[in-house]
Amino acid sequence: MALRLDLRSLIFACALLCCSSDLLAEGPWPQWQGPQRDAVSTEAGLIQEFPEGGPQRLWLFEDCGIGYSGPAIVENKLYILGAFEGTDHLLCLDATTGEQLWKSPLGSTFENDWGNGPRSTPTVDGDFMYVLTPTGTLYCLQTDDGSIVWQKEMQDLGGEIPVWGYSESPLVLGNTVFCTPGGEEGAIAAFDKISGDLLWQSKDYVDVAHYSSIMPMKHDGRTILVQLLYKELVGVDPENGGGLWSIPWNGNVAVIPTPIISHDTVYATSGYGAGCVLVRLSGNDAEVVYENKNMTNHHGGVILRDGHLFGYSDGKGWVCQDHETGKLVWREREALGKGAIAYADGRFYCLGEDEGELVLITASADGWEEHGRFTLEPQTELRKPKGKIWTHPVIANGKLYLRDQELLFCFDVKGE
């Protein structure tokens, strides 16, 4: 029995090591925040200046359902979640034409005053994809028709639905899918991606689930999992769920942004006054390099480029922060309100959550340099009064995708 377990652990470790840190999944945007889960597109040759009125709109799909789910794009197919008449669905569209190819029903959806429907992005992995619904069901589905292969309930693992619903996008590495049920039975869980069998729960960490998504990190020749829980930033052994390190986190109300990995460091931020932290790893030890409130990102995301962090900080506006020191490099409070950010080909795509303005700026520590803007038109009439345009921009195959509830836009941003 011991030999069998050791062999299984060896096979598991080898599978993880075979997962390249340069590309976690195939496709131009196969999962939450793109190939490396960092909101950075690998696209090149894109337009560097928006024309008057913005780039050409290629198509508008008007039946995406209710929700904030972002698209995953692989092999010219676009997968996205939406709620129809109280039921979550997985949709597949032709990413070039916007034609719906199929729609597959899941379970009952989540409802609250900020908006109903799914919040997460599908994770596409070969012939299968993995989605976590806001009510806490993890599905494995076939990519060709959306048929369900298996499903698991977070509540069966001791989890409870967070106030704004489960919003995490699952992580697939090797033969394993990871997610965060939260709770005293173990905050993070691992499943066999083919059978759905539960492999482990991380009993060293029993915090409740919030809204961040797990990031993989290559460190000292191995892969570890990094997750920002409600009250701690943690490192987890993906082979057995064992705790490797933990840093206290001053989470308040909602902890949402995905951690940022760079070499031997982990950067985390969240809103409601929590601020940000940079942690440096040495073996299984984690040391805080700095903590401050120069970046207090609610949910629009932060991007690391060329040693600097960019995103919207509550109370400060759009900011650039030095990654190594945490010092504020510049801020812009007037050009655009709070929103989400993505990167492609030397430019940031900044989407304002209030008016639906998309602004193209230089990805530079020299300051906010604008290269055109436009406003989404039309906009949904189905958004709840407390809801805003919260789905992050996606750039793939020379196209920019934006969502406002049931409306999914596709723009041509490919250069000449």
Q: Domains of the chain by range and CATH?
A: 52-64+300-416 (2.40.10.480)
Rounded CA separation 303/170 (Å): 20
* DSSP three-state, residue 4: helix
pTM of the model: 0.94
Question: Given this model, what pLDDT does residue 25 score?
Answer: 58
* DSSP three-state, residue 82: strand
- Compute the radius of gyration of the chain from its Cα atoms: 20
Rounded CA separation 275/269 (Å): 6
Residues 6+ positions from 4 with CB-CB distance below 8 Å:
none
Residues pairing with 350 in the sheet? 341, 359
- Sequential DSSP letters for 200-238: EE-TT--PPP-S---EEEEETTEEEEEEE-SSEEEEE-T
Residues 6+ positions from 136 with CB-CB distance below 8 Å:
153, 154, 155, 159, 161, 166, 181
- Sequential DSSP letters for 132-154: E-TTSEEEEEETTT--EEEEEEG
Q: Tens of pLDDT along the chain (416 residues)?
A: 344 444 444 444 444 544 444 445 567 999 999 999 999 999 999 999 999 999 999 999 999 999 999 999 999 999 999 999 999 999 999 999 999 999 999 999 999 999 999 999 999 999 999 999 999 999 999 999 999 999 999 999 999 999 999 999 999 999 999 999 999 999 999 999 999 999 999 999 999 999 999 999 999 999 999 999 999 999 999 999 999 999 999 999 999 999 999 999 999 999 999 999 999 999 889 999 999 999 999 999 999 999 999 999 999 999 999 999 999 999 999 999 999 999 999 999 999 999 999 999 999 999 999 999 999 999 999 999 999 999 999 999 999 999 999 999 999 999 87
Contact in structure between 246 and 258 (CB atoms under 8 Å): no
Burial class of residue 187 in the structure, from the number of CB atoms within 10 Å of its CB (0-12 exposed, 13-18 middle, 19+ buried): buried
Residues 6+ positions from 389 with CB-CB distance below 8 Å:
339, 351, 352, 353, 354, 356, 376, 379, 383, 403, 404
Which residue type does 205 have? Y
Rounded CA separation 89/117 (Å): 9
- Sequential DSSP letters for 358-391: EEEEE--TT---EEEEEE-SS--S-S-TT----S
Question: Given this model, what pLDDT does residue 73 score?
Answer: 98
Nearest to 392 by CA among 73, 39, 141: 39
CA dist 187 → 126, 154, 158, 265, 266 (Å): 27, 10, 9, 22, 19
Residues 6+ positions from 364 with CB-CB distance below 8 Å:
none
* Region of 94 on the Ramachandran plot (φ > 0 left; ψ -120 to 50 alpha; else beta): beta
Rounded CA separation 318/338 (Å): 8
Largest CA distance in the chain: 68
Question: Given this model, what pLDDT does residue 416 score?
Answer: 73
